[in-house]
């Protein structure tokens, strides 16, 4: 009953906001004069990450337009948006919270620590029922801590296998591989044709956890089991990294840079130069490759045996802090943020995938978005990292270590067992 009362529909929140505005206006008129007051209303503070790569497409522009439209329809509520770079935004929000100056809203990469510390509103207490029910299931599920939703998915992507069509043709490879053995054969043919990097395997510290998870899933496993218990050193995962080391790395099929030293950004840049035959990539790689004229193909990530396996999904998160109150105003603003128009506008601007079912359906049906179809097809069944576990922040440090598993002379099982021990210690401390 409590949730039903709190989660009345948007119109109730609008009524509350309108009442608050009227009462505030009456108080102002009864006071010492309009010149001595800033006027009625609430200002919500939002800290957001910047997805743009230039002043022209900075996220600041997108937020300014959205906020202007919201404030026009909602007198009495202002939204102050501060856009920060991805290099700084998580740290800066953490510092704000520690200083007792939490924003009302933060759109960043992680939410679990704040939820576990009871700093966040539950999603049930914010969004109207139709908006909350519209989130894609894998994303909604990943936004929960102990079965309660705190994180609202804001941006999503999946991974697919990119291939350079010109290099494939020169190597005599007719189609994208569907099994690991076919991938190794294609990499061997590319190598014989003189391709510098037949398969780019970025296990450097920038984002190795993503490349790792995609390979673990294609091998039939992952970081954790269905109940959230870490299983980094499972037999399936050991088999996966043993295969990578023996069949790709040791045979010189992953290029001149050791996987442990290769970052995702550098791998993407090399693909856009035409130096890479294959690699896993997300939607932004399409634009990077197309701008210099690289013709590419996309396909589902090959599985160990050719059967369909889950692909990796990634999401960034919106969260609402309780410190300043403003629950009703926050909820009303978020209902507006997650309208189809706004979700689609943001997703299209930054080559990301919609986080809601209705916007995803609209993008799938739009001929102008057909290049995103392979990614959209993967999203409904994608598997996300265990971001709802507070220990994941420590466990994701796998990105600093996993590259050791494929170094010359390394034993993948030993490295994975060490990472599993780190995960178990972090999990016990959760």
What is the CATH classification number for the domain harbouring 111? 3.40.190.10
Type and span of the H or E element at 130: helix 129-133
- Residues sharing a CB contact under 8 Å with residue 302, sequence separation 6 or more, in sequence order: 161, 176, 177, 178, 179, 180, 182, 183, 218
| Residue 5: pLDDT over 50 | no
- Report, as an integer, the average pLDDT of 333-349: 94
d(CA 261, CA 280): 17
Task: Report residue 323: phi and psi, to 5°.
Answer: -55, -45
Residues 135 and 164 in one domain: no
Q: Is 409 exposed, middle or buried (0-12, 13-18, 19+ CB in 10 A)?
A: exposed
The answer to whether residue 274 sits within a structural domain is yes
Residues 359 and 294 in one domain: no
| Residue 211: pLDDT over 60 | yes
- Residues sharing a CB contact under 8 Å with residue 66, sequence separation 6 or more, in sequence order: 336, 337, 342, 345
Asked whether the CA dihedral 8, 12, 14, 19 is positive or negative, the reply is negative
Residues 206 and 302 in one domain: yes
The answer to whether residue 62 sits within a structural domain is yes
Residues 92 and 143 in one domain: yes
Compare 2 and 128 and report the one with higher pLDDT.
128
Compare 12 and 310 and report the one with higher pLDDT.
310
Residue 3: what pLDDT? 35
* Model confidence pLDDT, tens digit, residues 395-414: 887 888 999 999 999 999 99
d(CA 65, CA 258): 44
Domain membership of residue 252 as a residue range: 160-310+391-428
Residue 2: what pLDDT? 32
Structural domain tally of the chain?
2
Give the pLDDT band (50/70/90) at residue 381: confident
Residues 34 and 145 in one domain: yes
Residues 40 and 178 in one domain: no
Residue 427: what pLDDT? 87
- Report, as an integer, the average pLDDT of 192-196: 98
- Residues sharing a CB contact under 8 Å with residue 94, sequence separation 6 or more, in sequence order: none
The answer to whether residue 304 sits within a structural domain is yes
Residues 197 and 279 in one domain: yes
Cα torsion 353, 358, 361, 367 to 10°: value is -80
Residue 52: what pLDDT? 64
Q: Considering the chain, what percentage of its residues have pLDDT values greater than 90?
A: 71
| Residue 1: pLDDT over 90 | no
Residues 260 and 397 in one domain: yes
The answer to whether residue 203 sits within a structural domain is yes
- Report, as an integer, the average pLDDT of 92-105: 96
pLDDT, mean over the chain:
87
The answer to whether residue 344 sits within a structural domain is yes
Q: What is the pTM of this model?
A: 0.81
Residues 356 and 397 in one domain: no
Residues 11 and 150 in one domain: yes
The answer to whether residue 290 sits within a structural domain is yes
Please report, for residues 167, 204, 209, 357, the alpha-carbon distance to residue 376 in angstroms, rounded to integers and kept in the order given: 26, 27, 22, 11
The answer to whether residue 386 sits within a structural domain is no
d(CA 191, CA 171): 8
Residue 223: what pLDDT? 94
Taking a C-beta distance cutoff of 8 angstroms, is the pair 158, 311 a contact? yes
Task: Report residue 278: phi and psi, to 5°.
Answer: -145, 150
Compare 320 and 88 and report the one with higher pLDDT.
320
Decide which of 342, 357, 381 is a domain's last residue.
Answer: 381
- Residue 240 has, within 13 A of its CA and on its CB side, a CA count of 25
d(CA 268, CA 374): 18
| Residue 276: pLDDT over 50 | yes
Taking a C-beta distance cutoff of 8 angstroms, is the pair 394, 426 a contact? yes
The answer to whether residue 337 sits within a structural domain is yes
Nearest Cα residue to 349 out of 149, 63, 44, 45: 63
Compare 262 and 13 and report the one with higher pLDDT.
262
Residues 407 and 360 in one domain: no
Residues 238 and 294 in one domain: yes
Taking a C-beta distance cutoff of 8 angstroms, is the pair 164, 281 a contact? no
Residue 238: what pLDDT? 97
- Residues sharing a CB contact under 8 Å with residue 16, sequence separation 6 or more, in sequence order: 328
| Residue 32: pLDDT over 50 | no
Residue 392: what pLDDT? 87
Nearest Cα residue to 156 out of 318, 337, 367: 318
């Amino acid at each position: 009953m409590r949730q039903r009362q709190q989660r009345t529909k948007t119109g109730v929140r609008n009524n509350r906001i309108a009442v608050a505005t009227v009462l505030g206006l009456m108080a102002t008129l009864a006071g010492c004069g309009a010149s001595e007051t800033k006027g009625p209303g609430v200002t919500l503070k939002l800290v957001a990450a910047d997805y743009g790569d230039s002043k022209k497409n900075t996220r600041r522009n997108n937020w300014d337009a959205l906020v202007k439209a919201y404030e026009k329809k909602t007198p009495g509520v202002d939204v102050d948006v501060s856009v920060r770079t991805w290099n700084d935004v998580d740290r800066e929000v953490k510092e704000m919270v520690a200083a007792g100056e939490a924003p009302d809203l933060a759109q960043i990469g992680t939410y679990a620590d704040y939820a576990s510390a009871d700093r966040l509103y539950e999603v049930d207490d914010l969004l109207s029922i139709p908006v909350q029910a519209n989130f894609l299931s894998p994303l909604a599920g990943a936004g929960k801590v102990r079965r309660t939703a705190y994180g609202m998915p804001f941006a999503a992507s999946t991974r697919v296998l990119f291939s350079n069509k010109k290099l494939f043709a020169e190597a005599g490879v007719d189609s994208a591989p569907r099994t690991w053995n076919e991938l190794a054969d294609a990499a061997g043919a590319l190598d014989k044709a003189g391709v510098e990097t037949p398969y780019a395997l970025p296990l450097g510290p920038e984002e190795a956890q993503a490349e790792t998870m995609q390979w673990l899933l294609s091998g039939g496993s992952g970081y954790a089991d269905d109940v959230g218990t870490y299983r980094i050193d499972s037999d399936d995962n050991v088999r996966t990294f043993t295969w990578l080391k023996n069949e790709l790395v040791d045979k010189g099929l992953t290029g001149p840079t050791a996987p442990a030293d290769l970052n995702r950004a550098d791998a993407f840049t090399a693909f856009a130069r035409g130096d890479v035959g294959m690699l896993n990539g997300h939607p932004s790689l399409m634009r990077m490759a197309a701008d210099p004229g690289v013709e590419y193909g996309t396909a589902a990530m090959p599985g160990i045996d050719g059967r369909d396996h889950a692909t990796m999904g990634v999401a960034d998160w919106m969260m609402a802090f309780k410190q300043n109150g403003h629950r009703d105003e926050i909820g009303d603003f978020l209902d507006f943020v997650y309208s189809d128009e706004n979700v689609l506008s943001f997703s299209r601007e930054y080559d990301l995938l919609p986080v809601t079912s209705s916007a995803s359906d609209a993008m799938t049906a739009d001929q102008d978005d057909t290049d995103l179809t392979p990614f959209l097809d993967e999203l409904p069944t994608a598997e996300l990292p265990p971001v709802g576990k507070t220990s994941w922040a420590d466990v994701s440090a796998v990105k600093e270590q996993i590259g050791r598993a494929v170094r010359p002379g390394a034993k993948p099982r030993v490295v994975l067992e060490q990472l599993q021990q780190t995960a178990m210690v972090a999990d016990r401390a959760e």
